[in-house]
Amino acid sequence: ERPEENGHQDKRLKRDANEEDVEDQNKKLPKRKIVLLMAYSGKGYHGMQRNVGSSQFKTIEDDLVSALVQSGCIPENHGEDMKKMSFQRCARTDKGVSAAGQIVSLKVRLIDDILEKINNHLPSHIRILGLKRVTGGFNSKNKCDARTYSYMLPTFAFAHKDHDVQEEVYRLDRETLEKVNKLLACYKGTHNFHNFTSQKGPKDPSAKRYIMEMYCGEPFVRENVEFAVIKVKGQSFMMHQIRKMIGLVIAIVKGYAAESIIECSWGEEKVDVPKAPGLGLVLERVHFEKYNRRFGNDGLHEPLEWTEEEEKIAVFKEQYIYPTIINTEREEKSMVNWLNTLPIHDFNSSAVGIQANNKNSK
């Protein structure tokens, strides 16, 4: 049968031809360096960064790259080798961690309705909320001066260990909130955070980090449980650093550890620092102050600020991030279970003391 004698075949050929035309037009488009503003709920993912060749650990970037290829922004081989599109994420969020303002930089073909097309190929809990053109040499990780994270937690985490606490009934009093904020403020400035991550020794210069602000906001009630949000802004953070900073403050407020332990943790001795659950951690925004001063008003580039997207960010958090944290906390009780492990930690012994005890017991 010749194509024209069969209507079905004719339609299919037309459709294929149209798709090929679009593909050909896409190929002719020059590639441009852009940044994408991303929001995602991290539950069920092994962090942001893609592990090429490791399919059992699904990451946010796996879904993103797949959507970029399917929408026609990047050729398939760029998905396999991300260096070809100069891909860089601003922050590597850990397993289960969400983001409301993650930034990735990459080279793409600027196709029509680009955001809509990418989002059509993404699950609803991952959204691209904005796009801006940037300078050709822009790298979202290196050009970022600071990152702001939030940590949402049920306030019963701050109840003293000697008090019998009914989780749903507990409400944070003013005095305890002030104590929490006094302790969080101790982290401000530059300190050696080697005790707040793994695989970094006390003499490693990269363990020194600069914290600009850290505080706990006013508590609020959701689904009968009171929550509060801790905000922290720093130049950059190491793996598990924020969760350990918060874990140590909780241990002090609950009465397991002395306040002096924060000062001790900057020293060279190994300190046993507990790591709060990953569930409540959210990458709120990333800051490009130096870049904005230099290129934001040069007439060619826009400053990397997202005031117009604030509304979309807020809606996404209310729709996907907060409900996930609240419901997972209620179903899996990650904070309750973690709080039960605090008595196991030895907050009085340094590594030297522990080794001596081990020798004696042997």
175 contact partners, CB below 8 Å, separation of at least 6 = none
The answer to whether 94 is a known catalytic residue is yes
- Which amino acid belongs to residue 344? I
Helix (H, G, I), strand (E, B) or coil at 210: strand
Cβ atoms 108, 74 nearer than 8 A: yes
Q: How many CA atoms lie within 13 A of 135 on its CB side?
A: 15
Catalytic residue, chosen from 62, 63, 94, 272, is 94
Q: Give dist(CA 94, CA 126) in Å, integer.
A: 16
Q: 37: closest CA among 128, 164, 167? A: 128
- Confirm or deny that 210 is annotated as ligand binding: no
Q: Give dist(CA 242, CA 214) in Å, integer.
A: 10
Q: How far apart are the first and last CA of the chain?
A: 88
Q: Give the pair of three-digit tokens for residue 300.
A: 């060619």
Q: 93: closest CA among 214, 242, 209, 208? A: 242
Cβ atoms 133, 34 nearer than 8 A: yes
DSSP string, 304-360: S--GGGHHHHHHHIIIIIHHHHHHHHHHH-HHHHHHTTGGGS-SS--HHHHHHHHHH
Cα angle 125, 126, 128; round to 5: 140
Residues annotated in a binding site for substrate:
149
**Residue ranges for the binding site?**
149
Residues assigned a catalytic role = 94
